[in-house]
Amino acid sequence: MALQRGPSPWEVSLWTRREESLPAISAALPGCRVSCDLKIAVEGADLIVLCTSPRAIENSGGELAGLIPASTPVTDAGSVKVRIVAALEGALGGRFIGAHPMAGSEQSGISAARPDLFDGAVCILTPTPNSDPQALAAVRDFWKEAGCRVSEMSPASHDMAVARISHLPHAVAAALVQAALSKNPEVAALAGSGYRDTTRIAIGPEALWREIFLDNRDALLSAISDMQTHVEKLKTAISGGDEAAIEAFLREARNLRAQGNE
Amino acid sequence: MALQRGPSPWEVSLWTRREESLPAISAALPGCRVSCDLKIAVEGADLIVLCTSPRAIENSGGELAGLIPASTPVTDAGSVKVRIVAALEGALGGRFIGAHPMAGSEQSGISAARPDLFDGAVCILTPTPNSDPQALAAVRDFWKEAGCRVSEMSPASHDMAVARISHLPHAVAAALVQAALSKNPEVAALAGSGYRDTTRIAIGPEALWREIFLDNRDALLSAISDMQTHVEKLKTAISGGDEAAIEAFLREARNLRAQGNE
């Protein structure tokens, strides 16, 4: 949708796993080629974008390599990069350029598609010393064309950063829902926008997030340990009735949060 | 603003603490009486609504009692109810009816006012055996007129419920900001809507939230302990690579969250 907005719309071809998804995709993206047959979907492509779950992306390199010319650039939209980049560089070489657009919602499937989903979102590219410069340039252009602001870092730096800015918030939102509602689910009826916003992402698909959590296990565990330290610090301040410590904790959070503000 | 939308707008009189706020309030609410003198603000009122911080509400009963007729109903908008209701019933008797509209944002001041702020929000009233039935009816009508759906529970039940559905999310959002950004604030530049939504309320005013946390200390500490239990459970599942346990945790959270959905 994003690529078909401009004066010279891209020619888009989609692969989908399930036959029953084909009519909705064709209806949402008129003029696009849609198929459950990977060979048909990738035929003639100048650029391939892998948008399945992390494990499916990791395992797709071998089949893909047999279907496309040796120089076709390939990128992806997976949330964890060290494992994906290692697997795909292994299967496809330097024309694979890992990417992670920091966009999306708790929803999934074609019904969640929006032409402006990527507008202004950061897309992190994770080139390595093996990366082919022409493939990198093509992939950079692709994500810019979709609406993203492109930045680059190593796969390892990416995984450490998103453990804190993306995967930790998801883990915390899931734990918060349970702490808020497990003992008395009826309090959900009293929820205001504070609870709703802090927990919205906990509606995301659990099979996808299970893969993400395990693919980024070490960095996420480190982030969760820091979360535990900060929660304990606040709990100690509240328990001790320490007005100055509580206020300092909340002030520090407010100041840090202002940096990430829209 | 909400009370002046209908066919028969209410006559509204406002008290504000700071002289310098008067011009902005008068501009935002034309036709309303505005004063820093409590005696002028409450003169002739049929109903009084206390909207300051919890401690200021608790301490306002004595002065207010000397300025208004003995039968004037009084309500409030404080986030914690046991302490406020005890203090205000002591000073004003059964015509004080505690209330907590579950609406608002991380913003404060007259610039955050919106005519539709209360539309559809739950307003919890906390009458007690001491409550005057006529005052309760008047206060119920007032919050309905502002746009709220009114529900009732005891002050103690209210405080336990909001510890989990409102105060815990605030504490968790503040701790999450620190865990996400303390070690490397630059990752804020990569934030997507997940981080932004889960941490938005951490921008709220720390002096107000320090009062709320301490006024509801025991119930909040219990909720924080449950949060710690759930975080530790998820951490153990991730650490052990237990796919089934991670997915079950996230599924449980998704199912619980669906109950509180808009």
Please enumerate, as own/partner, the contacts of A51-56 that have beta carbons within 8 Å and a separation of 24 or more: A51/A76, A51/A77, A52/A17, A53/A78, A53/A207, A53/A208, A53/A211, A54/A78, A54/A79, A54/A80, A54/A83, A54/A84, A54/A208, A54/A211, A54/A212, A54/A215, A55/A211, A55/A215
The helix/strand/coil state of B198 is helix
Cβ-nearest to A202 among B151, B166, B253: B253
Q: Does B245 touch chain A (CB under 8 A)?
A: no
- What value does the mean pLDDT take over residues B15-23? 94
Smallest Cβ–Cβ distance between A105 and the set B124, B193, B229 belongs to: B193
Question: Which residues of B are less than 8 Å from A204 in CB distance?
Answer: 250, 254
Q: What's the DSSP call for residue A91?
A: H
Has this prediction a pTM greater than 0.90? yes
Positive or negative, the Cα torsion across A45, A51, A54, A55? Answer: negative
User: What is d(CA B181, CA B170) in angstroms, rounded to the nearest whole number?
Assistant: 17
Residue A179 tokens read as 């702490």
Q: Any bridge partners for residue A107, and if so which?
A: none
Whether the pLDDT of residue A7 is over 90: the answer is no
Contacts of B173 in chain A (CB under 8 A): 194, 198, 253
Q: What is the pLDDT of residues B25-49, one digit of tens each?
A: 999 999 899 999 999 999 999 999 9
Please determine, for residue B94, whether its predicted confidence score (pLDDT) is greater than 90: yes
Residue B217 touches chain A, beta carbons under 8 Å: yes
CB contact under 8 A, A192 and B166: yes
CA distance B165 to B111: 26
Chain B nearest-CA residue for A230: B175
Integer-rounded Cα radius of gyration of chain B: 21
Predicted confidence at residue A104, as pLDDT, reads 84
Integer angstrom CA distances of residue A183 from A178, A197, B85, B161: 8, 21, 26, 10
Cβ neighbours of residue A92 under 8 Å, at least 6 residues apart?
A61, A64, A65, A74
Chain A residue numbers touching B189 (CB-CB < 8 A): 122, 151, 260
State the amino acid at position B19 in one-letter form. Answer: E
Which chain B residues in 81-110 lie under 8 Å from chain A, judged by CB atoms?
A: 102-105
Res. A261: pLDDT tops 80: no
The nearest CA of chain B is from the CA of A132 a distance in Å of 25
From the number of C-beta atoms within 10 Å of its C-beta (0-12, 13-18, 19+), residue A71 rates as exposed
pLDDT at B262: 44
Structure tokens at B161: 């419920």
Phi and psi, residue A125, nearest 5°: -95, 145
State whether B230 and A179 contact (CB < 8 Å): yes
Q: In this model, does residue A182 exceed pLDDT 70?
A: yes
The span from the CA of B181 to the CA of A127, in Å, is 24
Tokens, residue B68? 């208004």
Interchain CB contact of A242 with B (< 8 Å): no
Q: Which residues of B touch A227 (CB under 8 A)?
A: 175-176, 179, 231
CB contacts of B102 in chain A (<8 Å) are 190-192
Residue A180, number of CB atoms within 10 A of its CB: 32
Q: Do the beta carbons of residue A75 and residue A142 sit within 8 Å? A: yes
Q: Are B96 and B162 in contact (CB under 8 A)?
A: no
- B260 pLDDT exceeds 60? no
Interface check for B203 against chain A (CB to CB < 8 A): the answer is: yes
Q: Are A169 and B175 a contacting pair at CB < 8 A?
A: no
- Residues of A within 8 A of B221 (CB-CB) are 235, 238-239
Q: Say which of A105, A192, A246 has its CB closest to residue B210.
A: A246
Express each pLDDT in A113-166 by its tens digit: 999 999 999 999 999 999 999 999 999 999 999 999 999 999 999 999 999 999
The pLDDT of residue B118 is: 95
Asked if A210 reaches chain B (Cβ–Cβ under 8 Å), the answer is: yes
A190 touches chain B (CB under 8 A): yes
Mutate to test the interface with B, among A83, A176, A233 (most CBs of B within 10 A): A176
- Per-residue pLDDT of B217-241, as tens digits, reads 999 999 999 999 999 999 999 999 9
3-state helix, strand, coil in chain A (%, to 5): 60, 10, 30
Taking all residues of chain B, what is their mean pLDDT, rounded to a whole number? 95
Averaged over B144-169, what is the pLDDT?
97
A255 has a chain B CB within 8 A of its CB: no
Angle ∠(A30,A33,A37) on CA atoms, nearest 5: 140
Residue-wise pLDDT tens digits, A43-69: 999 999 999 999 999 999 999 999 999
- Confidence category of residue B161, pLDDT binned at 50, 70, 90: very high
Question: Residue B57: its pLDDT value, please?
Answer: 96
| CA A182 to the chain's CA centroid | 28
> A39 touching B, CB under 8 A?
no
B201 to chain A, any CB pair closer than 8 A? The answer is yes
For position A105, what pLDDT does the model report? 81
CB contact under 8 A, A165 and B190: yes
ipTM for the predicted complex comes to 0.91
Q: Is B69 on the interface with A (CB under 8 A)?
A: no
Interface A-B, measured as beta-carbon pairs within 8 A, has a size of 323
Residue contact A103–B254, C-beta within 8 A? no
Helices (H) and strands (E) counted in chain B, each on its own, are 12, 7
